[in-house]
Every structure is written in C-alpha cells, then in structure tokens.
C-alpha cells in the first residue's frame, strides 16, 4: 500500500470536497435531523455511506464505463433518480407545522400530528436510495476510477479506497446529524421546522427538475 499513497491522497481530497458540497445527500440528512431527530438522521447517514459501496462495486467491475458507453442506460438511471428526488421533494413541500414539546404534551392531538419517527431500517433505506440514485455520486466514481486510479492498481487496494470513502462519508454525515440535532440548533428551528422541510423539499424538487431537463436536452 505504501507505493499507492500519492494516488490515495488525490482520491481522499477529491472525495471529501465532493461529499462536503451541498447536494441531495446533505439536504436529506438535514431534513431527517430537523424532522425526526438524531437516530433517524444517523441511520440515514449510515445508509448513505453504505450506498458508496454500490458505486465502488460497479466502478471496479467496469459497469460505470458501460453506463457512459451506452447513453440510454445512463439516461434511464438519471430519470429514475429525478423521479425519486421529486417524490421526496413533494413530501417536503407538503410538510405541516410542528409544535414545540411544551405546547403539545404526550397524548395530545398536536403531538399525534407530528411526523412519526421512521424505524432505523426505513431511515437507512432512505439514505441508501438517496445516494444510489444520486447522479452526482455516479459521475464522481466513474470519473475517479477512470482517471485517478491507475488500471494496474490491484483490486484489493481499489477496494480499500472504496471502504475509506464509505467510512468517511458516514462520518461526515453523522457529524452533520449531530450538529443539526443539538438542542440549541433544534430549538432554533422547531417552530419553523415545516418551512425548513419545504425549503429542502423545494431544493430536492429543483434538483430533480434540473436533472430531468438535462437528460432531455
């Protein structure tokens, strides 16, 4: 592995810049943090990190190159992604006002109307699908493994790169989850939380529309 450090550093830096840039994954984690709390946000983050392994797998198998070679397959994948983002976005736009805990004691009608916290499996699936259907992630991994990674690099080493990117992605979004579920941050948003949901929904819907229009064009 010693001889591959320069290559690894390039991949690690490019990956962290890509992960830190706002996109569907970030919007989803923030939405989960504010709407459902820490557990749902963390499991969503784990799902996003797990999905990285899917991108790494098809990049190692060369499927990413096939997607670029056969535009119809790639365009179909982008339309599926746009549809999924649009569905999540519309759900955000339809978000209803929530009430502070002091105003809605357990068992009250207001409390019952709050969004139910998803089970860990459901939160994980949300994160996983958001990243799997994220064309930004697809393009990134196809580009990285086609340009930065030397074809002579052993598959085991390339797989180690993938595990690193999966772990750091999880770590980044778990940190985002912890930030946006802090009591001070959460209290600042609780009364206008439905507006945050709507803004995030609008962002996701805009991304979906832009993706669909780009595919048509």
Q: Model confidence over 84-122: pLDDT tens digits?
A: 668 777 877 787 765 544 443 333 444 444 467 889 999
Average pLDDT over residues 146-150: 77
Three-class HEC string of 83-99: HHHHHHHHHHHCCCCCC
Report how far residue 154's alpha carbon sits from residue 79's, in angstroms, rounded to the nearest whole number. 34
- Rg over CA atoms, the chain: 19
Is pTM beyond 0.75? Reply is no
Report the SS3 class of residue 136: helix
């Amino acid at each position: 592995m010693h001889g591959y450090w320069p290559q690894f550093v390039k991949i690690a830096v490019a990956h962290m810049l890509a992960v830190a840039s706002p996109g569907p994954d970030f919007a989803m984690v923030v939405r989960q943090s504010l709407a459902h709390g820490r557990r749902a946000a963390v499991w969503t983050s784990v799902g996003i990190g797990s999905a990285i392994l899917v991108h790494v797998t098809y990049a190692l198998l060369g499927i990413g190159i096939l997607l670029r070679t056969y535009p119809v397959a790639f365009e179909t994948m982008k339309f599926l992604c746009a549809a999924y983002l649009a569905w999540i976005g519309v759900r955000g736009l339809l978000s209803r006002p929530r009430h502070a805990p002091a105003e809605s004691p357990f068992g009250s009608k207001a409390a019952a109307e709050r969004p139910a916290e998803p089970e860990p499996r459901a939160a994980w699936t949300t994160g996983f699908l958001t990243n799997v259907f994220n064309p930004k992630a697809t393009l990134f991994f196809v580009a990285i493994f086609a340009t930065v990674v030397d074809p002579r690099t052993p598959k085991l080493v390339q797989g180690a790169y993938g595990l690193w990117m999966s772990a750091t992605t999880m770590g980044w979004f778990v940190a985002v989850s912890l930030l946006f579920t802090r009591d001070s941050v959460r209290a600042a948003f609780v009364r206008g939380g439905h507006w945050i949901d709507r803004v995030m929904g609008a962002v996701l819907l805009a991304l979906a529309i832009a993706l669909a229009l780009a595919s048509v064009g």
